[in-house]
Amino acid sequence: MVLYKTVDIKGYGLDRYGRILGVVFADGKNVNLELVKSGLAEVYRGKPPKGFGLEPYLQAEAEAKKAGRGMWSLRDKYVSPKEWRKSHRK
């Protein structure tokens, strides 16, 4: 989707670790949303950046789950990053 392409990033600031919070676009397509639709990314459940519309992502994730796309094909075997980190704390 983005290999060998120029991408645009709509930035929403930085997180507490200094990482860019933003949406990636390639050929005018919202890459973030396409990854969620395909079941290749999970929607972050923390506080969204100011001005960021979360609803399309939540809807896309629900549809991907229902259709069993990508990681959602694992159903009950899927472990979210948040759950994994919680279970592997020292």
Residue 16 confidence (pLDDT) above 90: no
**Number of compact structural domains in the chain:** 1
pLDDT digits (tens, 9 = 90+) for 47-58: 888 889 999 999
Report yes or no: 13 and 47 within 8 Å, Cβ to Cβ: no
Name the CA dihedral angle for 46, 47, 51, 54, rounded to a multiple of 10 degrees: 40
Q: Is residue 75 part of a domain?
A: yes
In whole angstroms, what is the distance from residue 31 CA to residue 36 CA?
A: 9
Q: Is residue 57 part of a domain?
A: yes
pLDDT digits (tens, 9 = 90+) for 54-89: 999 999 999 999 999 999 999 999 999 889 999 998
Q: Is residue 1 part of a domain?
A: no
